[in-house]
Amino acid sequence: MRVAVKFAYDGRKFHGYARQPQLETIEGKIVKALMGHGFIGDTKESCFRSASRTDKGVSALCNVIAFNTDASKKHILQKLSNKFTDVVVYGIKDVVPDFNPRYAKLRWYRYYLNRDDIDLERAMSTAAAFTGEHDFSNFARLEPFKDPVRNIDNIVFTEEGNFLVIDFYAQTFLWHQIRRIISAIIKIEKGKIEKKDIIGALENPDKKVDFGLAPAEPLVLKGIVYDFEFEYDEKSLDRLNKLEDSIIRTLDVPLIKSPKSQN
């Protein structure tokens, strides 16, 4: 049997998602628990796969793993939902034998900015340049054999309390793509570049430009969509809500002052 498991975590408490020798990571902690309970023998034999490998400091309210196992869904969810204090396991689902969680229909990331003195209309206009299909070579940390062409379906802005919340929707993202886009938006807000510079970097990907990298901590993986629904543990959903509140409440969000307000 192959199962998919949905979980959340405060990424600021780990050294990233992917397993690393001698360091505590989210994936390493989960794999250790799965093996400790006898749910898998090892990652290769169980065909263990992860949906998203978030950077150090990046949190997730929805990440997904999949693995082959002989254990029942009820037993897996019961044991894992009670196992951790800093990871919330809250959903599970039987999936087809070849299911790979990386191939999702949609991913939703959220970035939090301090909205003090931000020109919302200008920020939205800047973000609009990134929607649709582009070569994001100048807005990502490129990996070998990875196609830099991606399609961002939508970028949505909302104001929540002291935050300017920016939601990104796409099937896939490149490494550091959102944080580099955010950094470009920040640079425009500070008057260091203009929108035409961003358009030029998108239209001329072979001409290398570096607009910097925004902090990881205000970035949260909010959702991953598949063509099925998970089965949820109600008590764990309460813990999920508390985790989200804790992440937002303790965010050290960058303050962006416009040139006008700095004078």
> Using alpha carbons only, what angle is made at residue 160 by residues 157 and 165, rounded to the nearest 5 degrees?
35
Active-site position among 10, 55, 153, 206: 55
Whether the CB-CB separation of 240 and 8 falls below 8 Å is answered with yes
Question: What string of DSSP letters covers 193-212?
Answer: S-HHHHHHHHH-TTS-----
Neighbours of 30 (CB within 10 A): 25
**Catalytic annotation on 55?**
yes
C-alpha to C-alpha distance for 147 and 142, rounded to whole angstroms = 9
C-alpha to C-alpha distance for 7 and 225, rounded to whole angstroms = 14
C-alpha to C-alpha distance for 143 and 175, rounded to whole angstroms = 8
Catalytic residue list? 55
